[in-house]
Structure 1
């Protein structure tokens, strides 16, 4: 089995064939842990927009604290995390917005081949190695893999097409989003 990690910086990742990628193992080391009020997946809001008022913290491990420098000036952050309680992967799922089967990559459902989560949360304040957050739609105890600042200069797009999600009315989305996957 081929292992790829940060020590393989000189390796030409383009040389991995399809069969080579099937055997590859990519290792990530958590930089911290996310703390939130959410302990039951089925009762956790779906997406940060439905988690306004849900406070949480990202506790960064001491060896990574220096990397938090200059983060205070950003209002929102991307949190990239490991979905440690996700069930086994499924390529077809019923997203929370509809009762129709959809391809996993056209949804944000957690049952992914690689259980990686992504949320944009509001940064309330930083105290040492702890980031105080709002809009947290993440389970308590979730391993944090990375943090990136959200910036409208690079990240804001005025979309004109949201795929199948354009079929869903806002009230249905709001009600289902607040109830979580337990609907």
Structure 2
């Protein structure tokens, strides 16, 4: 059994959101633009990225100050398990967002649909591939009834 994992940032995500208030709660509902700055030693890994319309950003919720295993999700009073909600207060504080890739140059990726705070540490980038990642028949669980209320919501 693993006791720890070593992870290091590969860059920084720059967004217009300096504080949680006003930050979109999901990238799908955001029109905000941001810039992903990839550190020089990792820029070779961007080769070919311009052929993708969307990318998956894996990042660290560095301003999350607690770990919850049970919490109330946004717009909900009922407590639910952390692995059934999208709270940043997770055991490993890891977040993921699918964003639209607008352009890239010199290790800087211009993206749309950001939903993270400014200066968020970037852990990884993966291509979004609809044939692999989209699941049209997937169930949204308890959230299915709440999706209309969540659309466009901000923290």
> Is 2:70 aligned against 1:92?
yes
Greater relative CO, 1 or 2 (CA 8 Å, sep 6+): 2
Q: Computing the radius of gyration over CA atoms, which structure comes out larger, 1 or 2?
A: 1
3-state SS of the aligned residue for 1:165? helix
| 1:159, distance to aligned residue in structure 2 (A) | 2.6
Query: TM-score, normalization: structure 2?
Result: 0.95
Of residues 78-87 and 155-164 in structure 1, the stretch that sits farther from structure 2 once superposed is: 155-164
Q: Which runs of 4+ in 1 moved over 6 A?
A: none
For residues 113 and 67 of structure 2, the distance between their equivalents in structure 1, rounded to whole angstroms, comes to 26
Alignment root-mean-square deviation, CA: 1.2
Structure 2 portions without partners, runs of 5+: none
Query: TM-score, normalization: structure 1?
Result: 0.81
What are the residue-to-residue correspondences of 1:50-89 with 2, within 5 Å? 50-52=29-31, 54-89=32-67
Q: Kindly tell me the number of residue pairs found equivalent between the two proteins.
A: 155
For residues 110 and 153 of structure 1, the distance between their equivalents in structure 2, rounded to whole angstroms, comes to 28
Match of 1:153 in 2: 131
3-state SS of the aligned residue for 1:96? coil
Match of 1:174 in 2: 151
For residues 36 and 6 of structure 2, the distance between their equivalents in structure 1, rounded to whole angstroms, comes to 21
For residues 72 and 108 of structure 2, the distance between their equivalents in structure 1, rounded to whole angstroms, comes to 35
Match of 1:109 in 2: 87
For residues 71 and 160 of structure 1, the distance between their equivalents in structure 2, rounded to whole angstroms, comes to 28
3-state SS of the aligned residue for 2:151? helix
Higher normalized helix content (fraction of residues):
1
For residues 174 and 149 of structure 1, the distance between their equivalents in structure 2, rounded to whole angstroms, comes to 25
Structure 1 portions without partners, runs of 5+: 1-15
Residue by residue, what CA displacement relative to the aligned partner does 1:134-169 show, whole Å, maximum 9, x if unpaired?
Answer: 000011011000000001121111134211001215
| 1:25, distance to aligned residue in structure 2 (A) | 1.8
